[in-house]
Chains A and B, each alone.
Chain A
Amino acid sequence: GENVEQHPSTLSVQEGDSAVIKCTYSDSASNYFPWYKQELGKRPQLIIDIRSNVGEKKDQRIAVTLNKTAKHFSLHITETQPEDSAVYFCAASMSSGGYNKLIFGAGTRLAVHP
């Protein structure tokens, strides 16, 4: 069935290190891939997204790469800071009855230690 697998489920890094979160998806027709950050007790917020006609997108310390052939995409955070600590969700668009919907991964809890 439709699914998005996300790894790792938890990630612990030292401040200043890089963090990478990986997702794979099942629907080869997926063409939109957003990433959301959810801080403790707060709403998920979009941090970056990528469409299938682009292989990589960067916004300051965060970047996303997409490999459509392998059906996987990744979030890269460089120079991590304690305020990057949160749960991160990837998602992929999938068709459903003539409409598109988002399928979310299970989430990655990132802890950045000072």
Chain B
Amino acid sequence: DVKVTQSSRYLVKRTGEKVFLECVQDMDHENMFWYRQDPGLGLRLIYFSYDVKMKEKGDIPEGYSVSREKKERFSLILESASTNQTSMYLCASSLFAGDSNQPQHFGDGTRLSIL
């Protein structure tokens, strides 16, 4: 069974801090994704990656960056956290590079609060 692990379930940070959210998958998947989930808005794609050191902007990349130094690890970075970035963040992975026409496997999510 695919395991996608996010480093924290709950995180509280202060405005202006640099925040790192970590995600690790154990199934040698090519693709990794970061979404944020807000009530009434569904899941919105922030960034995705189809290979090591490769990244593509999603639909709402402003205020975020990502890092993929190893195939199994995809990090989301909030350069200077703001209160409007308080949300649930979900990481996902899927098998084949460059193709989202396949199931995505999600982590448990990190509920991030920016005070």
Smallest CB-CB separation from A34: which chain B residue?
A: B103
**Distance from A86 Cβ to chain B, minimum over Cβ atoms (Å):** 14
Q: Interface residues of B toward A: which range?
A: 20 to 34
- Distance in Å: Cβ of B57 to nearest Cβ of chain A: 8
Q: Could you mark each residue 94-111 of chain B with 1 if its beta carbon is under 8 Å from any beta carbon of chain A, else 0? A: 000011111111111100
On whether the beta carbons of B40 and A102 are closer than 8 Å, the reply is no
- Looking at A11-19, A59-67, A89-97, the stretch in contact with chain B turns out to be A89-97
A101 touches B58 (CB 8 A): yes
Contact-size category for A? 20 to 34
> Does B90 lie within 8 Å of A104, measured CB to CB?
no
Known contacts A44-B106, A101-B58; decide if A32 and B101 are in contact (CB<8 Å).
Answer: yes
CB-defined contacts of B60 to chain A, threshold 8 Å: none
User: Is the beta-carbon distance between A49 and B103 smaller than 8 angstroms?
Assistant: yes
Q: Say whether B41 faces chain A, with CB atoms less than 8 Å apart.
A: yes
What are 5 A-B contacts with C-beta separation under 8 Å?
A: A43-B109, A46-B105, A97-B56, A100-B99, A100-B100
Using a CB–CB cutoff of 8 Å, the interface residues on chain A facing chain B are: 2, 4, 6, 9, 31-32, 34, 36, 42-46, 49, 51, 89, 91, 93, 96-107
